[in-house]
Amino acid sequence: MEGTESPPVPGSAPQPAPVTPPAPWDLDDPALYLNRELSWLEFNQRVLVEASDPRNLLLERVKFLAITASNLDEFFAKRVGWLKRMLATDARTRTVDGLTIAEQYDLVIDRCHRMRARAEEVWRTELLPELAAHGIQIVRFDDLEEPARQRLREYFERSIFPVLTPLVVDPAHPFPFISGGSLSLALNVRHPSTGQDRFARVKIPPNRPRFVDAGNLRFVLLEDLIAAHFDMLFPGMEVTEWQELRVLRSAETGAPGEEADDLLELIESALRRRRLAEAVSIEITGELPPARMELLLEELQVSERDVYRSAGPLGLHDLFQIASLDLAPLRDAPFTPAVPTAFAGTGDAPEFFATIRERDLLVHHPYESFDQTVVRFVEEASEDPAVLAIKATMYRTSPDSPILEALIDAAGRGKQVAVLVELTARFDEANNILWARKLEAAGVHVAYGQPDLKIHSKICLVVREEANGVTMYAHIGTGNYNSRTARVYTDLGLFTADPGICGDILRIFNLLTGYGEQFRTDVVLAAPSNLRSAVTERIRREIAHARAGRPARVIFKMNALEDFECTRLLYEASQAGVQVDLVIRGICRLRPGLPGLSDSVRVVSIIGRFLEHARIYYFHNDGEPEFFIGSADLMKRNLDERIEVLAPVRSPEHRAQLLDLLELQLNDARQGWRLHDDTWHRDPAVDAPGSQAILLQRAPFS
């Protein structure tokens, strides 16, 4: 009968039970995709672990704790703010990982609370005692000897008291506005004769050092110093209790559907609204009386779920002040970025540009000097009489940018200068607005990105009159034109006079300053035009090689793998036998190591002294490898909603350098975390130099 097993033949060997082949993976299954928000929090957890790692010097550990706190504040402003906005519109919306917005919000808040608690524990139980063991003490004002207290009293009266503004809440004084990220003291002030209580708030001035120097490497928290002088703020009154209080507000600035004839005015309006943006979190030390807490929740329009109760102190990002103490044995040794040989050997502008014309130059920051390469490129162009025009993008830059000063100087010398300013670069809007006005006043042609299409590419083009006609020179970078962050972010930059690359960059600039529906590039990969399709095509080419039995491999180094379609395609590649190696600093949706799905995937995250920021895309291409560098991560926003550029790296020498860098980081056992399924691991016993330490020893890169 059908479905009936045949009886065993007498004397024969037992027959193995039939093996059911594993069911094929459904690549649309949400369980295969890690949640974006939780993946980002895992990155911050890796940073927090550095604060506890005894292999790091003490003040470096303090710095990692400050970075953790700063990152978490930014996460609340950006991502929790976005989640709360989505909660108000449709809490049941599901993202590609299958979680609803409401489910994500609950998971995120729980994870953030645990991370905050762990950060405070690291500070109290690990770093504070170790600092004290090295003579660095955080002390109470009342525990100081009288001469030290007197010095601090004088400092308070001279430099702190005039800045403070005590605000009481009563029928004549409405509840005070509490700005996002600021630290406040919430007090109960009692009238001694009537016994009447009032709620009061004192804002801790952010422009004063949080850790007040009491001499001999002793520091008093500013809030403790203020509390010791409440009698000056509330004369004749009694302060019966006080707590620290912080409010974090959303960074969402736009009003849905808002349009304006002037984008600059629109962003300025949005910045004014950000100050009044909805609260997303309350942090408080101790317990407020129920009536006071109810008042806070009502005035800030948040729920009890948004409250984090802390043992204090709040605002651990202020530990940057302690981390910056000039105590050489407790900090990483300072280093001077190397000047690449090709740049060190050039003299005046003609020789400088001739060097780039002869061959492409590749630089690696901060191991190699940003100022002596990228800044010099713009400064030489500004001063060179043969240069006719300079075009550049500006996404994030420093308030004292030497590059923008050089562009202003170039305009003053009669050169055609165009700068594409991205006004909507989050948290840099105000700085970019100031620079945009300054550039316009100097005669620079300034254009802005569209609200729904940010200019995220890092490109600069120099047009020069030469003996054989006009020649163009380009710089394509992975990081911002920012001299400050270039000292702590790892980034790559390509200098080239390649006509194909420069022609593509020129077309991109013309589209951004002019008018057109789309642009064409022949050599560079550009979003939102052809970047997604080009990457997809190349991954599929590796899949075809693997299925034909040929070696196939991709190596991607980036900040984030968030895009669903790219993640799905990398699963397909692994299933086909492609070796998929990913060096990802932060968000990763893919789950490596799943049998039959992602066996051939490696994911490594490098956490160390410098913030990994470079993007490199490598395709094996059957022994004819392709390398690209640029500004784009594999995120939907980078592929579809931003102006991005990836430039090919063609020099065999540069390709070898990039492959060596990638292999070095993939095999980093000291700084490299490895993702297996949904869990990150690193061996805490490894004491060999990490990839960043090795690169410091090797500099210069080229």
Residues recognised as catalytic: 456
Structure tokens at 323: 């981390």
Q: Say which residues have a Cβ less than 8 Å from residue 167's Cβ, sequence separation at least 6.
A: 173, 176, 200, 201, 202
Residue 336's SS3 state is: coil
Alpha helix positions (H), 476-563: 499-513, 531-547
Beta bridge partners, 74, equal none
In angstroms, rounded to a whole number, what is the distance separating the alpha carbons of residues 409 and 412? 5
CB atoms within 10 A of CB 155: 17
Nearest C-alpha neighbor of 52 from the set 116, 123, 132, 109: 123
Whether the link from the prior residue into 648 is cis, omega within 30° of 0, is no
Q: Say which residues have a Cβ less than 8 Å from residue 100's Cβ, sequence separation at least 6.
A: 91, 92, 93, 94
Chain mean position to CA 650: 29
In angstroms, rounded to a whole number, what is the distance separating the alpha carbons of residues 571 and 577? 10
Structure tokens at 31: 């369980």
In terms of Cβ atoms closer than 10 Å to its own Cβ (0-12, 13-18, 19+), residue 149 is middle
In terms of Cβ atoms closer than 10 Å to its own Cβ (0-12, 13-18, 19+), residue 174 is exposed
In angstroms, rounded to a whole number, what is the distance separating the alpha carbons of residues 339 and 59? 28
CB atoms within 10 A of CB 634: 29
End-to-end CA distance of the chain: 75
- φ/ψ of 328, rounded to 5, equals -50, -45
CB atoms within 10 A of CB 588: 26
Strand order of the β-sheet with 211-215 is 137-138, 218-221, 211-215
CB atoms within 10 A of CB 317: 19
In angstroms, rounded to a whole number, what is the distance separating the alpha carbons of residues 649 and 653? 10
Element (H, E) at 243: strand 238-249
